[in-house]
Amino acid sequence: MTRAPARCAICGKPVDPAYRPFCSRRCADVDLQRWLSGGYAIPAAEDESLPDEDSGEE
């Protein structure tokens, strides 16, 4: 069984082994910029069952 060729995580072109999992330096830089700007941030919800650190409650 053969695998399908890997595709760039940004544009979908075939992967270049030098930039894996991307096809080029440009796509690697686009991905880095998304990480650094918070584009890949996971939204989080406050856990209301935990005591508030500022209230002095324990």
Q: Is residue 27 part of a domain?
A: yes
| Domain span at 6 | 1-38
Q: Is residue 16 part of a domain?
A: yes
Nearest alpha-carbon partner for 31 in 6, 7, 5, 11: 11
Which tens digit of pLDDT belongs to each residue from 5-52?
899 999 999 999 999 999 999 999 999 999 999 888 888 887 777 666
CB count within 10 Å of CB 27 equals: 20
Q: Is residue 53 part of a domain?
A: no
Domain count within the chain: 1
Q: Which pLDDT belongs to residue 57?
A: 53
The number of residues making up the chain comes to: 58
Whole-angstrom Cα distance, residue 15 to residue 13? 6
Nearest alpha-carbon partner for 39 in 11, 10, 17: 10
Q: Is residue 26 part of a domain?
A: yes
Q: Is residue 4 part of a domain?
A: yes
pTM value is: 0.64
Q: Is residue 33 part of a domain?
A: yes
Q: Is residue 47 part of a domain?
A: no
